[in-house]
Amino acid sequence: MRRAHAGGVKVARATRTRTAENSGLARIQSTASDLLDSQINHVAAMNQPFQPLNIAGLIEDRCHLVDSPVVRIHLQLSQPPPLGWSHLFHLAWLSLPHPVPRKVGIDGDSLWIECVPYEFMNHKPELEAAMAQANAGHIAALQRQESLRQQRLALEAQTRSQLATLAEQLNPPSFQPPDHSDQEAQPIRPILAATRSMWRNLRTLLMGRCN
């Protein structure tokens, strides 16, 4: 009887262990899926012309109590923030005067603020002002990047022109440069496809472990 009881206890413990492991793997799988979606949205946003971000609405099911009566209120952004925008937003938020300081943050394609719900409309102008500064800062950075790109293209064109002139001076009419077209590197797969493949493999691995 004791042996049977001990055997039952071992089985119960093993079952609880497997359940805990499966639960942990399920959480990892869910986190990996969220990261995949966030990465895909971020890469997709990088390939689109920048549009100033704004508040699109309230994500009610993601709002939760932090320290009664303070609630973390999640707001949907009009698009996923591009690289660097979140940092600009935080700098802008810290630079603004706040009658009542509140914590804010960016989570994927949402913005959150911790405050009492009925006070949110008092903080909304502050959020919009910080977002406007972040939008302006990002646009200025894009303009600087485009200016540098145009300068680089102009320098490359000038260099190619100088090399063409040098070739006319050095190369006899019968000279034919060797053909290296078959040695050219193969095109690199787009960033988005590579990212999707990486996370798809991770998801498959985690699902296999869960099974």
Residue 6 pLDDT: 52
For residues 22-39, average pLDDT: 53
Cβ(15)–Cβ(38) below 8 Å: no
| Better-predicted residue by pLDDT, 15 or 195 | 195
For residues 117-133, average pLDDT: 95
3-state SS assignment for residue 152: helix
Phi then psi for 109, rounded to 5 degrees?
Answer: -105, 25
For helices 120-170 and 85-95, give the axis angle rounded to 10 degrees.
130
- Look at 30-39, 61-70, 91-100, 167-176 and tell me which has the smallest mean pLDDT: 30-39
Longest dimension (CA), the chain: 102
pLDDT digits (tens, 9 = 90+) for 188-204: 566 667 777 777 777 77
Average pLDDT score over the chain: 79
* CA dist., res. 136 & res. 131, Å (int): 9
pLDDT at 153 over 60: yes
| Better-predicted residue by pLDDT, 133 or 44 | 133
For residues 152-175, average pLDDT: 86
3-state SS assignment for residue 190: coil
| Better-predicted residue by pLDDT, 170 or 7 | 170
* CA dist., res. 201 & res. 70, Å (int): 40
Cβ(55)–Cβ(29) below 8 Å: no
| Better-predicted residue by pLDDT, 55 or 191 | 55
Domain range summary for the chain, segments of one domain joined by +: 24-47+192-211, 55-147
pLDDT at 85 over 60: yes
- Look at 71-75, 78-82, 173-177 and tell me which has the smallest mean pLDDT: 173-177
pTM, full prediction? 0.58
| Better-predicted residue by pLDDT, 85 or 11 | 85
- Look at 124-133, 146-155, 162-171, 178-187 and tell me which has the smallest mean pLDDT: 178-187
Q: For residue 33, which amino acid is it?
A: S
